[in-house]
Amino acid sequence: VQEIEEVVRVAGEKNGRTGGSVTHPVRVATTGREKGPGLFDILEVLGKNRVIARLTRAIEIAQAKAENAAAGG
């Protein structure tokens, strides 16, 4: 769990984000909920492949929404 937490926090810092501005979006993207058990425990239970798939899907959805908004939709 500590290793997962470190990876998430370092990735956030590389993108200029810390604390809740990192963990909250990761929680919503991976669980679909804003609150729940410890995030890093959840990520461990879900497993690397499932977490990556869910994060990838969340990114795709966000990009599609941004593109739609930019197109005036």
Instruction: Judge whether residue 10 has pLDDT over 90.
Output: yes
What global pTM score does this model have?
0.86
pLDDT tens-digit map of 26-63? 999 999 999 999 999 999 999 999 999 999 999 999 99
Q: What is the pLDDT of residue 33?
A: 97
Give the amino acid at 52.
I
Closest C-alpha among 71, 30, 35, 22 to residue 47: 30
Q: What is the pLDDT of residue 35?
A: 96
Q: Assign 73 a pLDDT band (cuts: 50, 70, 90).
A: confident
